[in-house]
Structure 1
Amino acid sequence: MTEGVTGTGGSGGTEGTAGAERHVRVVLVDDHRMFRTGVQAEIGATERTGVEVVGEAADVDQAVSVIAATRPEVVLLDVHLPGGGGVEVLRRSAALMGDASNPVRFLALSVSDAADDVIGVIRGGARGYVTKTITGTDLVAAIFRVRDGDAVFSPRLAGFVLDAFASTDAPPVDEDLDRLTQREREVLRLIARGYAYKEIAKQLFISVKTVESHVSAVLRKLQLSNRHELTRWATARRLV
């Protein structure tokens, strides 16, 4: 299943003509090496797509270092990363994002379509958010549009952003959710979706004991007693 993208402006490039007319330097940030390899193969044929992949990173520290060293025009950023997640990369790269002469723009590329993830990285400064069901052609177009200053979203996700910013009365942050680390939020969301501890451990590449520790920390911080209360809490906040 594939999807297109929605955004502002009409300056997007297209695969097949981009290579001859345009060029963009990109860094890939994702903690799964095979996924980075696949994206590189799909979009990194510079003569065909106009996209030059100038660096890769698998965690927050690597990402910040590679971005600072290469100064790409666009960063394809996964939301869930070791070391604090995509939001932490955005926070630590804020000075580069604000450089008027040579800004680094961020496009979130994630398997997650949760409203909390989308809103978090957009508040952090990302210019767009697309899910990993996007086609290579659409991803190339999205990269050029973000480079040119457009905001780009997978169609369903645009609604999350509009809803989040439409109401001036809505608090900018959820104080309870803000107590949790990025990894605790990931575990919370999977628990609320009914995953067993072993399934969560496999999906997040951590041990079952580590999952148990994260669940205990979440319950303590949110002052909840069990996973059923946790599921109700997450559902009420549309995190599931």
Structure 2
Amino acid sequence: MSEAPLPGAPVTVVVVDDHAVFRSGLKADLDERVRVVGEAGTVEEAVTAIAALRPRVVLLDVHLPGGLGGGGREVLTRSTALLGEVRFLALSVSDAAEDVVSTIRAGARGYVTKTASGREITDAVLRVAEGDAVFSPRLAGFVLDAFGTASVADDELGKLSARELDVMRLIARGYTYRETAKELFISVKTVETHVSAVLRKLQLANRHELSRWAADRRIL
């Protein structure tokens, strides 16, 4: 089990990115306040390493290949049981509002762009380890807009877990239960359970109403 670092002890980190050169450069740029205990280049490697090493913070590439909407989201949803014990700081070349908001909804505690310096990323890691939410300066406004002045759709989406949100989007796009299960690496029975929960929480009668609901709110 991951524990809060002792005063003066470096924060343990796992670096997740599909580019080995970037991982090497990032590790070299982080200072002595951080100790990299593992790294991964795929969704499967990341999920395995995080579960085995239980780092305090995961530096997670948002656009890791694989998974729905990028493998970074897949890593987060498959690590849901560890959220809180392990904290996730998203790294991305993208500063698009959609990427930022969807990643935070999935469970990340912060989001910084890859243009940040090693010192800035180290500072962000320490703050996330202490429980703060951290964002590159221009990205904070996206989060405030999405969560601070939430629309009705945001309020309704806030009722759904990260996994329920993934299932909802696929079902609303017309995926079958079996196709959804295959895409998200879960059982058909689990998909059925999530769909029932989504319909109940959103007060909808069936998947056809769900598709219309999602289309009307432009969240497909």
- TM (normalized to structure 1)? 0.60
Q: Is 1:178 equivalent to 2:169 in the alignment?
A: yes
**Structure 2 counterpart of 1:77, from 52, 60, 66:** 60
Q: Which has the higher contact order (CA 8 A, sep 6+)?
A: 1
RMSD: 2.7
Distance change >3 Å, CA 168–CA 133, structure 1 → 2: closer
Q: Secondary structure at the match of 1:81?
A: coil
1:192-203 matches, cutoff 5 A:
none
Residue 21 (structure 1) shift: 2.4
Q: Is 1:88 equivalent to 2:74 in the alignment?
A: yes
**Structure 1 counterpart of 2:25, from 38, 57, 63:** 38
Moved over 2 A (4+): 166-170, 172-175, 177-180
**Structure 2 counterpart of 1:154, from 108, 133, 136:** 136
1:7-22 matches, cutoff 5 A:
21-22=8-9
Aligned pair count reads 157
- The residue number in structure 2 matching 1:106 is 88
Aligned-partner residue type, residue 131 of structure 1 = T
1:219-234 matches, cutoff 5 A:
none
Aligned-partner residue type, residue 128 of structure 2 = V
Residue ranges of structure 1 left out of the alignment (5+ in a row): 1-19, 181-236
Q: Among all aligned residue pairs of Structure 1 and Structure 2, give the percentage whose two residues are the same amino acid.
A: 61
Aligned-partner residue type, residue 114 of structure 2 = K
Q: Secondary structure at the match of 1:171?
A: helix
- The residue number in structure 2 matching 1:27 is 14
Aligned-partner residue type, residue 83 of structure 2 = M
1:56-67 matches, cutoff 5 A:
56-67=39-50
Distance change >3 Å, CA 33–CA 141, structure 1 → 2: same
Residue 155 (structure 1) shift: 0.7
Give yes or no for contact 1:115–1:157 (8 Å, CA) kept in 2: yes
Distance 1:153 1:63 in 2: 22
- TM (normalized to structure 2)? 0.65
Residue 179 (structure 1) shift: 4.2
